[in-house]
């Protein structure tokens, strides 16, 4: 791994091919990637990000056992089942459900990564698990800050700086201005004696534009749960249009492989000498 690039706003991604075959980390700490992670931990079957409300409604029509989820201006979308507060995604509500999401910034950044080689979702609640995952791959990565309406937002940049500082430990990665800026913001606003501090992160949320806005519409508790460092050490991966845990995708792959073996076995058993085709 030589480089970790940070895109401080997703508006820097001109088109979907911009991230083709790249390794990508998506950040939307207030609140999309935090909420999706907690929803999967609480037993949701999968998260299906969509680029807009109309698409979400269309996808929901075609799927059983699903919920429409998302926000505009921080509030639940009219006609949707759930908003974007992590506190709404309890086990009773989401267990085994497909969650079809549309949010202002986070889902757009995820959709822009559909041609990426690897795409993982990160926030403060799973940051160390993502660092371990990236270290295990040991290739260059691009960190994408979802931002706020294609503009810069403090909380995503600080989280990106914390990711970079953890990944740069023992390495001498090439740093551009964006990376140096994010590192300094993190050191200033989230570290205490060089240690990530939940208290400082919560203070950062209360001083950020979006944190103040969410508090003004009665969603202050979302800031507290989103500041709980490493409270959900899991790896949500976006692949083939859905977000699931790494293990779930691996489980499916080995299942498919087993099926393949069974099919080949069955074919052989009927003793026909024909060429066995890959099913
Ligand atoms: C987003 O994806 O735009 C944010 O998560 C918005 C929010 O939850 O308030």
Q: What pLDDT is stored for residue 101 in this prediction?
A: 98
**104 Cα: distance to centroid of ligand 1 (angstroms):** 6
Q: Which two tokens stand for residue 238?
A: 């976006």
Instruction: Tell me which residues of the chain have a pLDDT lower than 50.
Output: 273-279
Residues making up the chain, counted from first to last: 279
Give dist(CA 30, CA 219) in Å, integer. 11
- Per the CB < 8 A criterion, the answer to whether 66 and 119 are in contact is no
Report d(CA 210, CA 131) in Å as an integer.
26
| Ligand 1 atom nearest residue 103's Cα | 2
> What span, in angstroms and rounded, lies between the C-alpha atoms of 230 and 219?
21
Taking the model in full, what pTM does it have?
Answer: 0.91
Going by CA atoms, what residue is nearest to atom 8 of ligand 1? 31
Q: What is the atom index within ligand 1 of the atom nearest the CA of 107?
A: 2
Phi first, then psi: give them for residue 229, nearest 5 degrees.
-55, 130
Ligand 1 atom at minimum distance from 148 CA:
3
| Distance between Cα 181 and ligand 1 center (Å) | 23
Instruction: Kindly report the protein residue whose alpha carbon is nearest to atom 2 of ligand 1.
Output: 106
Ligand 1 mean position to 23 CA, how many Å?
A: 23
**3-class DSSP assignment, residue 190:** coil
Could you tell me if 215 and 223 are in contact, meaning their C-beta atoms sit under 8 angstroms apart? yes
Return the pLDDT at 194.
79
Q: Which residue has the tokens 């075609």?
A: 62
What are 24's two structure tokens?
């990508």
Q: Residue 78 to residues 45, 72, 83, 214: CA-CA distances in angstroms?
A: 24, 9, 10, 18
Q: In this structure, what DSSP letter does residue 3 have?
A: B
Q: Is 161 exposed, middle or buried (0-12, 13-18, 19+ CB in 10 A)?
A: buried
Residues linked to residue 174 through DSSP beta bridges, in sequence order = 3
What was the pLDDT predicted at 276?
A: 45
């Amino acid at each position: 791994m030589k480089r970790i690039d940070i895109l401080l706003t997703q508006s820097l991604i001109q088109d979907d091919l911009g991230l083709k075959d790249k390794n990508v980390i998506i950040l939307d700490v207030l609140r999309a990637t935090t909420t999706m992670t907690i929803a999967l931990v609480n037993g949701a079957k999968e998260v299906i990000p969509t680029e807009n409300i109309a698409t979400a409604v269309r996808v929901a029509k075609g799927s059983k056992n699903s919920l429409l989820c998302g926000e505009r201006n921080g509030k639940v979308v009219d006609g949707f089942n759930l908003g974007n507060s992590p506190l709404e995604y309890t086990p009773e509500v989401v267990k085994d459900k497909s969650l079809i999401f549309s949010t202002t910034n986070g889902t757009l950044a995820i959709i822009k990564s559909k041609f990426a080689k690897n795409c993982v979702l990160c926030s403060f609640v799973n940051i160390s698990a993502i660092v371990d995952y990236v270290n295990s791959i040991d290739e260059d990565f691009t960190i994408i800050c979802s931002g706020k309406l294609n503009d810069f937002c403090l909380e995503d940049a600080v989280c990106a700086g914390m990711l970079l500082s953890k990944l740069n430990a023992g390495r001498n990665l090439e740093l551009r201005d964006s990376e140096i800026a994010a590192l300094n913001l993190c050191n200033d606003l989230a570290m205490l004696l060089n240690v990530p501090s939940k208290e400082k992160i919560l203070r950062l949320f209360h001083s950020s534009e979006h944190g103040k806005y969410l508090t003004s519409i009665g969603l202050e508790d979302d800031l507290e749960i989103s500041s709980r460092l490493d409270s959900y050490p899991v790896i949500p991966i976006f692949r083939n249009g859905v977000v699931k845990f790494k293990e779930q995708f691996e489980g499916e792959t080995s299942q498919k492989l087993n099926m393949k073996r069974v099919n080949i076995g069955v074919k052989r058993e009927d003793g026909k000498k024909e060429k066995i085709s890959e099913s």
